[in-house]
Structure 1
Amino acid sequence: MMSLNGKYALGVLLTFVLLAAVMLYVFPLIYFITGIKAFTPTNFGYTRIALWLVLALILAYNFFIEKGSFLLWKDKKYPVLFYIKAVIALYVICAFGGAMLNLIIQLLTQEGMSRKLVQISSVFKNNYLLIILTCFTAGAVEELLMRGYIQPRIEHLYRNPYIGIIVSAALFGILHSTYGTIGQVVIPFFIGTVFALFYKKYTNIKILIICHFMYDFVSMMILNCIDIKHLSAF
């Protein structure tokens, strides 16, 4: 029988492979199935469903193969005021740090805006339901998988909390490389590191889900309200 460490290692690999497959191949698959080869709100909505399916598969793997708790670190309870302060603090750190990193990258590389981000901004224009669905999917699925599932298992495998933090953040950054720019890898890596450090210290996945949702929602609303041509420094 496979050891528990072997099950954890396979689970981490399976999670990354499934997420990478969705990022790379879900659009061609959806185009093939629907026959509509266009970047439409409906097709984009299907990609969010695909991410929920990945989470469902990893939950099934955990239940049937690992046969243990999905969240190895039980969520700690905090007062409501702590939630509010933590979400605001995390948001400010990620927004300010991300903006500074983006500015540095712009100065060093003169990198333009991601073509994929330009496409997405047109699809989301005034489509508030899709914006909310997308932000909630990113917050819930990515945090449950990256921080809730992968980080503690990596730490368990290597008996080192720093490796858990670095690997989960690195995978988070790599998965965003499909946007095609350096900034869309470096900034998610930074945010992933901040979130992983917070999760290690406070062990509360709900706060990370809320903050991730808020960060993406504010970003999406800015893209929705401002002409894409004026967002090169965003």
Structure 2
Amino acid sequence: MIVRDISLNGKYATGILLTFVLLAAAMLYSFPVIYSVTGVKAFTAVNFFYTRIALWIVLLFIILYNFFIEKDSFLLWKEKKYPVLFYIKAVVTLYLICAFGGAFLNFIVQIFIHENLSRKIVQIASLFRNNFPLIISICLTAGIVEELLMRGYIQPRIEKIYHNQYLGIFVSAMLFGILHSTYGTIGQVIIPFFIGTVFAVFYKKYSNIKILIICHFMYDFVSMMIMNFIDIKHLSAL
């Protein structure tokens, strides 16, 4: 039994590494690959949509790895069922914590660092202007793919390997923050780390990935709708 646990932990560790490396590669190199394949070397809505498909491919790869190599449940923690009212309260509460906490952290970053608005955020804001199908598809991708991989897959495996729930929370949140560093600002690492920590604590306590998927979608959707309706020069206030 001990030998089996060691072997399975090794597979878990490999899966975690694969997940992070593949997600990082998808975020860093999907655009150059898509440019070379399509021949359209421009930041367009279609090319951006293709980069989100790359994230779905990563999720599919990890699911296949789990099925054929780990041969274990993808979600190590059994999903708990709750009343509809609990779902509503949980989503609203999580959203408010992340929204106000993120706004406060952004305020602190602006005071001490005075960093400029991410060039990539400006490009995305222009790209999504009134493109509601793209906004919805991007938010769905982020909510489903990122939550299934960062919370559903990575967090329980970190905890199981090291027998430490706090390490599972911290590492999953840290990786979540690092992956958002592709936006090019410190704030885009600190705030996702904070949100990742909030989500990880919730997942540990309530073991329900669906609530996190809904909240993640809601957070991104509201943020993008705000970006859609305000002048780009005011985005730093967010």
In the TM superposition, residue 112 of structure 1 has moved relative to its aligned partner by 1.2
Match of 2:47 in 1: 43
Matched, 1:182 2:186: yes
1:25 and 1:197 map into 2 onto residues whose CA distance is 31
Q: Say whether the 8 Å CA contact 1:106–1:233 is kept in structure 2.
A: no
Letter in 1 for 2:193: F
Q: Say whether the 8 Å CA contact 1:19–1:54 is kept in structure 2.
A: yes
Q: 1:198 aligns with which of 186, 202, 211?
A: 202
Give the TM-score normalised by the residue count of structure 1: 0.99
1:77 and 1:186 map into 2 onto residues whose CA distance is 32
In structure 2, runs of 5+ residues without a counterpart are none
RMSD of Structure 2 on Structure 1 (CA):
0.9
Letter in 1 for 2:131: N
Query: Secondary structure, in 3 states, of the residue corresponding to 2:116?
Result: coil
2:147 and 2:234 map into 1 onto residues whose CA distance is 30
Letter in 2 for 1:165: I
Match of 1:222 in 2: 226
In the TM superposition, residue 29 of structure 1 has moved relative to its aligned partner by 0.5
Match of 1:55 in 2: 59
Letter in 2 for 1:63: F
Match of 2:79 in 1: 75
In the TM superposition, residue 124 of structure 1 has moved relative to its aligned partner by 0.4
Matched, 1:23 2:24: no
In the TM superposition, residue 118 of structure 1 has moved relative to its aligned partner by 0.4
Match of 2:120 in 1: 116
> Which deviations, in whole Å up to 9, do the C-alpha atoms of 1:122-147 show, x marking residues without a partner?
11000000000000000000000000
Matched, 1:144 2:148: yes
Match of 2:166 in 1: 162
1:232 and 1:64 map into 2 onto residues whose CA distance is 45
Runs of 4 or more above 6 Å deviation? none
> Which deviations, in whole Å up to 9, do the C-alpha atoms of 1:89-118 show, x marking residues without a partner?
000000000000000000001111100000
2:89 and 2:142 map into 1 onto residues whose CA distance is 22
2:225 and 2:97 map into 1 onto residues whose CA distance is 19
1:122 and 1:229 map into 2 onto residues whose CA distance is 11
In the TM superposition, residue 230 of structure 1 has moved relative to its aligned partner by 1.3
In structure 1, runs of 5+ residues without a counterpart are none
Letter in 1 for 2:74: F
**Percent of pairs with identical residues:** 76
In the TM superposition, residue 202 of structure 1 has moved relative to its aligned partner by 0.2
Give the TM-score normalised by the residue count of structure 2: 0.97
